Amino acid sequence: MDVDHKSHDHKSDGRGANPLVALSKHGQSPWLDFIQRSFTENGSLKKLVDEDGLRGVTSNPAIFEKAMGAGTEYDPQMKELLAHETLSAGELYEKLAITDIQATAKVMHPVFVETKGLDGYVSLEVSPYLAFDTVGTTEEARRLWKAVHRENLMIKIPGTKEGIPAFETVTSEGISVNVTLLFSLDAYKNVLEAYIKGLEARHAKGQDISKIASVASFFVSRIDGKIDAEIDKRVAAGDKDADALKALRGKVAIANAKIAYQHYLDVTKSARWQKLAAAGANPQRLLWASTGTKDKAYSDVLYVDSLIGADTVNTIPPATFDAFRDHGKVSDSLTHDVAGATHVMAEQKRLGLNLDAVTETLVTEGCASFCDAFDKLLGAVANKQRTFLGDKLIAQEAHLPGEFAAAVKAEVENWRKHGKLRKLWARDPSVWTGGEEAKWLKWLDIVDERLAHVDELEAFAKEVRAKGFTDVLLLGMGGSSLGPEVIAETFGGHEGFPTLHVLDSTDPQQVVTYEKSVDLKKTLFIVSSKSGGTLEPNILKAYFFAAAEKALGHAPGSHFVAVTDPGSHMEAVARKDGFWKIFYGEKEIGGRFSVLSNFGLVPAAASGLNVRHFLHSALHGVREAAASVPPEENDALKLGVILGVGATTFGRDKVTIVASPAIYDLGAWLEQLIAESTGKRGKGLIPIDDETLGAASVYGKDRVFAYLRLKDAPCPHQEKAIKALRDAGEPVVTLDLADKIQVAQAFFHWEFATAVAGSVLGIDPFDQPDVEASKVETKKLTNAFNETGALPPETPFAKDGPFAFYADGTNAKALGTGDVVAILKAHFGRVKAGDYVGVLAYVERDTATREWIQKVRLGLRDALKVATAAEFGPRFLHSTGQAYKGGPDTGVFLQITADDVADLGVPGEKYTFGVVKAAQARGDFDVLSERHRRALRVHVSGSLDVGLKLLAEAIAKAV
């Protein structure tokens, strides 16, 4: 086509009638099967209307793919849109397409007016992903009809089994439709029937049916493509019917179309139709689509020349349009030799060419190829979008060894081919185990939802500031504390706002340390518990409520805020105690997916973080992971696939988190997300956080490194070590954050990746069966304490100096009764390649103990060449504890408990904080033992400092 706007060289230039113009004299309207922005804008389209009698335009996903997929024509609008809105690739595409459709509709409108609504249409197709979804198609048709808002629009709906009822419904609502992808006579008959029914329904309601137009797009050339190929195959194989078969070459598609037209004529003659016609109904014309010649042996205008008839449309691709202008032959070909067409149809049947099966395949293939084109198109849009947004987005780059990369590619393609990403967003639990997953997916929408209400959080922030609090002390565990902790550690203090502290321990000393670090009279307490029933936040609330009351000299409710799910026990407590405010969480979001809900946002706002800005960054993460961003371009999905495939195919299940110092605490949140979501039923990922990077030689072949780098403040040691790991062929995924605020984006990115990894692993990422198990064991022990005034007695299997050793029978037998070094040697001697060691310390988590545990774990890693986890109880129980108990049986655990220097009472309870912590450690240990894990507990008596020093020395000697 003269897309370059060259002058036409056709018979209207003095060499006779333009065949395109002549078509209308035979009742056929030539439409153009093509759209491109520049073609519309530069006047080329109008020229076709003026000179060639063009009377309509059609588009489809493949056409838009060609238009938008390459070049820069659409860039200015993309940039303009992205400057004002945060859009997914699908939303962006749709806006571009609608602009094109509206511009085209404007050019075609005079035709619409002139032909009194017979022609002048432009078609826009519903998403090809919806081809087998009646409800989705119906909704999308309504939405696009409204969004484009042009009387000369036709919405294109595929004529599949599912598309036809949608077509009938929207016809009855007054929407003009082009039913596409029709290959078989039967499907066409059903479509025409649906059209009539839709009109009848509307007419029965007394509504106008005269403004509805419709065409049925009957595909032609693709039929010959398939049938001819079969003919050629059989002829080449020496078929006995070779001559008869050859006689059908290039004939079946046209014969099929001619017979369809006969059906049209019959129906429009019927009394039923005449009744509608009398009420103003327009017939649904047949539109010949796929009319470009594919086989060079045929005339390049075969599918135009042969299909001319009254009340029909031919949507002609550009090259064929030009060819027809040049040498098309106009006659009433459609009704010519119908008997011959009937004979061809009978012959194809007799010769077993099986047109029915062919047309069925063509529908499936047609839908699939539009999906492929749409994937390509959206991929191109997503790519551009990423370029235009630049630094506003986290940049992800994966460095994977060849085999690993190939397996990831294959799994990503599997997601694309099976539309799994769309299923995930459609909350289809079959993405995981087909269980309860759909009930836990509100985190997918929470950013949009919270942004819509962000002014409430901003008002809260203002009030907190006005009240002059100096500190905010958040009391909560796991999902209710780790997000706030990342916010506190990453963003620090804000001028004029209180400092945020997060307490997630029952260690009496740690509770006291926090109490002393704040001014109780000027502290805002945030009691944070989704379920509202978790032991720790309840007893911490009891403790600090009493302490604040004492300090203030009056009921301290006005200094307390609760964040909890509606209807929880904590809500009742907050009401009873006159809390200043209660903020609600979403019941359909699990704790570890709750950071972008009020669980993260309320403490963020209270500490002065700009929550609007924060949520806006998170929104980029949401849009980047959207259903419309094809898997290959969808970084969050790819990250999940890398983690899942790494574990399932390559035994690389230790997700080693490396984060730049300024965002280091993200690892603590990630640990919970990854471990609690995936570590169950003997499978899962084991997150390894905060393990200072070593040389490649200290690692086994069981790691995937996730490097979260703050672009302008990377750590030189990490940079060097990561480079060395990459060079050594270790798998490394780097996520570059241009700004700390992108921690918000990282939250969503990882939530999404974790959900995807869960799917690859074949588990439900939203439950936590083994966390519950140790809560139950703990409860039994605290109940026993309340009844008897003591925890049930226990006997060590060995003792050495300040150390007493505990284990279940099997473990104790394996470890013997030697001295501390011998026992530890036996314990760590059980570590094999691919295992990990967990050091689980139930002591105060402070600088000294953190340094101690780091030193110990690095010593273990370097000596044993395995991954190590360094955790503090009871905090990790609500985090990695799930995977240690429920995940792969590759953990070797050293639990450390100690005498408490001083204990603290829990108001209203017999037990103390010390008792609770001891019960938690024992509950944890009991479940580890029950699961036959390799677990040893060492209890340190006397001075903790001395005990830990001796223990470190013993460990060093043992390995």
Ligand X SMILES: O=C[C@H](O)COP(=O)(O)O
- Catalytic residue positions, numbered: 156
The site partner of 529 among ligand X, ligand I22, none (C-beta below 5 to 8 Å per kind) is ligand X
Residue 530 binds which entry of ligand I22, ligand X, none, CB below 5-8 Å type-dependent: ligand X
- When the beta carbons of 222 and 420 are compared against ligand I22, the nearer one is 222
Angle (nearest 5°) at CA 675 between 569 and 613: 70
> Closest distance between ligand X and the C-beta of residue 829, in Å?
34
Cis peptide before 874 (omega within 30 of 0): yes
User: Which contiguous run of DSSP H or E holds residue 135?
Assistant: helix 134-148
Closest distance to ligand I22 from the beta carbon of 320 (Å): 9
Among ligand X, ligand I22, none, the one that 607 touches (CB under a kind-dependent 5 to 8 A) is: none
Tokens of 406: 């190939």
In the complex, minimum distance from the CB of residue 648 to ligand X, in angstroms, rounded to a whole number: 26
Of the chain, the end-to-end C-alpha distance in Å amounts to: 77
**616/878 with CB nearer ligand X:** 878
- Phi and psi (nearest 5°) for 870? -120, 110
Residues 472-511 that bind ligand X (CB under 6 A): 477-480
Contact partner, 591, from ligand X, ligand I22, none, Cβ < 5-8 Å per class? ligand X
CA distances from 565 to 437, 456, 502, 503, 574 (A): 19, 17, 19, 20, 12
Measured over the CA atoms of residue 58, residue 60, residue 64 and residue 65, the dihedral's sign is negative
Which residues from 746-785 bind ligand X, rule CB under 6 A?
A: none
Site track for ligand X across 909-948, x = CB under 6 A: ----------------------------------------
Q: How many helices, marked H, and strands, marked E, lie in the chain?
A: 38, 24
CB of 176 to ligand I22, least distance (A): 12
Question: How far, in Å, CA of 380 to CA of 633, rounded?
Answer: 9
Is 226 or 878 the residue whose CB approaches ligand X more closely?
A: 878
Residues 6+ away with beta carbon under 8 Å from 798:
804, 805, 812, 815, 816, 817, 818, 823
**CB of residue 58 to ligand I22, shortest distance in Å:** 4
Binding test (CB under 6 A) with ligand X, winner from 38, 102, 342, 531 = 531
Q: Which of ligand X, ligand I22, none has residue 33 at its interface (CB below 5 to 8 Å by kind)?
A: ligand I22
Window contacting ligand X (CB under 6 A); options: 21-29, 318-326, 471-479, 756-764: 471-479
Which window, 258-266, 304-312, 526-534, 895-903, contacts ligand X (CB under 6 A)? 526-534
Cβ closest to ligand X, residue 383 vs residue 531: 531
Between 60 and 256, whose beta carbon lies closer to ligand I22?
60
Number of residues counted as binding ligand X (CB under 6 A): 12
- 465: tokens are 């500031």
Coil, strand, or helix at residue 192? helix
CA distance 199 to 174: 8
Give the nearest distance from C-beta 561 to ligand I22 in angstroms. Answer: 58
Q: How far is CA 32 from CA 52, 322, 451, in A?
A: 11, 11, 43
- C-beta of 758: minimal distance to ligand X in Å? 16
Nearer to ligand X, 775 or 922 (CB): 775
**Cβ-count burial of 263 within 10 angstroms (0-12 exposed, 13-18 middle, 19+ buried)?**
middle
Structure tokens at 431: 């993405």
Burial letters 530-560, b for 16+ CB under 10 A, else e: bbbebbbbbbbbbbbbebbbebeeeebbebb
Applying CB under 6 A, which part among 204-212, 222-230, 349-357, 524-532 lies near ligand X?
A: 524-532
- Backbone torsions φ then ψ of 34, nearest 5 degrees: -170, 140
What type of residue is 603?
P
Q: Report what 24 binds from ligand X, ligand I22, none; CB cut-off 5-8 Å by kind.
A: none
List Cβ neighbours of 86 (8 Å cut-off, separation of 6 or more). Answer: 616, 619, 620, 623
- For residue 623, the partner it binds in ligand I22, ligand X, none, with Cβ less than 5 to 8 A by kind, is none
To ligand I22, the closest distance from the beta carbon of 97 in angstroms equals 14
587 near ligand X, rule: CB under 6 A: no
State in angstroms the smallest separation of the CB of 216 from ligand I22: 9
Given candidates 501, 530, 623, 654, which one binds ligand X under the rule CB under 6 A?
530
Closest CB to ligand X among 317 and 537? 537
Cα separation of 674 and 259, whole Å?
60
Locate 944 and state its tokens. Answer: 């903790």
Q: How many CB atoms lie within 10 A of CB 161?
A: 13
Residues 6 or more apart from 131 whose CB is under 8 A from it?
137, 158, 160, 162, 163, 181, 367, 370, 371
CB of 451 or CB of 606, closer to ligand X: 606
Interface with ligand X (CB under 6 A), residue from 534, 607, 718, 929: 534
Nearest distance from C-beta of residue 214 to ligand I22, angstroms: 11
- What ranges in 390-445 are assigned the alpha helix state H? 402-417, 420-425
Closest by Cα among 843, 884, 847 to 506? 843
Residue 878 within binding range of ligand X, rule CB under 6 A:
yes
Radius of gyration of the chain (CA): 35
Residues 226-255 that bind ligand X (CB under 6 A): none
287 contact, one of ligand I22, ligand X, none, CB 5-8 Å limit per kind: ligand I22
Listed residue (956, 836, 856, 847) closest to 896, CA to CA: 856
DSSP, collapsed to helix, strand or coil, labels residue 841 as: strand
Q: Is 522 left (phi over 0), alpha (psi -120 to 50) or beta?
A: alpha
- Please say which residue, 591 or 947, places its beta carbon nearer to ligand X: 591
- For ligand X, the closer of residues 112 and 876 by Cβ is 876
β-strand partners of 406? none
292 binds, among ligand X, ligand I22, none (CB under 5 to 8 A by kind): ligand I22
Which residue of 537, 603, 621, 644 would you call a contact of ligand X, by CB under 6 A? 537
Instruction: Give the tokens for residue 807.
Output: 């284990």
Q: How far is the CB of 771 from ligand X (least distance, A)?
A: 6
* Site residues for ligand I22 per CB under 6 A: 33, 58, 60, 123, 156, 178, 180, 217, 221-222, 287, 289-290, 292, 315
Please report the sign of the dihedral spanned by the C-alpha atoms of residue 778, residue 784, residue 790, residue 795. negative
Closer to ligand I22 by CB, 96 or 773: give it: 96
- Note whether 457 and 464 are within 8 A (CB): no
* Least distance (Å) between residue 608 CB and ligand I22: 55
Query: Which residue of the chain is nearest ligand X when measured via CB?
Result: 478
Please choose which of ligand X, ligand I22, none residue 498 contacts, taking the beta carbon within 5 to 8 angstroms, the exact cut-off set by kind: none
Asked if 680 is part of the footprint of ligand X (rule: CB under 6 A), the reply reads no
Q: Is 857 in the site for ligand X (CB under 6 A)?
A: no
Give the shortest CB-735-to-ligand X separation in angstroms.
Answer: 24
Interaction partner, residue 289 (ligand X, ligand I22, none; CB < 5-8 Å by kind): ligand I22
Residue 886 binding ligand X, by CB under 6 A: no
State whether residue 105 is helix, strand or coil: helix
Q: Which does 632 bind (CB under 5 to 8 A by kind): ligand I22, ligand X, none?
A: none
- Identity of the residue, 202 or 878, whose beta carbon is nearer to ligand X in the bound complex: 878
477 binds, among ligand I22, ligand X, none (CB under 5 to 8 A by kind): ligand X
| For ligand I22, the closer CB: 159 or 700 | 159
List contacts with ligand X (CB under 6 A): 477-480, 529-531, 534, 537, 591-592, 878
